[in-house]
Amino acid sequence: MYTRELNRKDAKDCYNLRLEALLNSPDAFITTYEQEKQRPDPIKTFEDRLDSNESHTFGIFEDHHLKGVVTLVQETHPKFAHKASIVAMYVTPAYRRSGAGEKLMQEAINFARAINIEILQLSVVSENKPAKYLYEKMGFHRFAFEKHAIKLPQRYLDEEHMSKFLQEN
């Protein structure tokens, strides 16, 4: 397995993995599968996203096939520019517990350090124990708990907000 930053040539594979993620792990994402499928010209949308300077998406590959992604979004306001968020983390089920998630997170952390990010933040649904375990293993710590953060038709989901300090002062 190897990791690299994705680019516009990866848009179709990234989109297909996104659809898989929304089907397999609907509670982990705010967007629904139905919303994603209704997007006009989704490949163009993903090409634009992957070309953007506002976010950086990293993929993990096995035999040149995309098996997981993680996106890092840096804050743009000057007073927040020392922070970035990890969003849209997903590894296809067959590659979970293989080290793929850890490699993806390490790629994002290394990139964040290289662009002088001091604090990485993320949010995770409280019930998602495997994701929480990975984030804790990677050095993230909970700094807030949000009850009923996400409202679904029949229930609520709580979220934990976590951070990792990359450059201690």
Looking at residue 139, what is its pLDDT?
Answer: 95
Domains and CATH numbers, the chain: 2-121 (3.40.630.30)
pLDDT tens, position by position, 66-103: 999 999 999 989 999 999 999 989 999 999 999 999 99
CA 12 and chain centroid, separation: 18
18 has a pLDDT exceeding 80: yes
**What distance in Å separates the CA atoms of residue 124 and residue 159, rounded to the nearest whole number?**
5
169 has a pLDDT exceeding 60: no
Confidence of residue 168 (pLDDT cuts 50, 70, 90): low
**What distance in Å separates the CA atoms of residue 41 and residue 59, rounded to the nearest whole number?**
22
Round the average pLDDT of the chain to a whole number and report it: 93
0.75 surpassed by pTM: yes
124 has a pLDDT exceeding 90: yes
Looking at residue 107, what is its pLDDT?
Answer: 96
CA 98 and chain centroid, separation: 18
Reference 72, options 45, 116, 108; nearest CA is: 108
Confidence of residue 54 (pLDDT cuts 50, 70, 90): confident
Query: Which of helix, strand or coil describes residue 37?
Result: helix
Confidence of residue 53 (pLDDT cuts 50, 70, 90): confident
On whether the CB atoms of residues 104 and 60 are closer than 8 A, the answer is yes
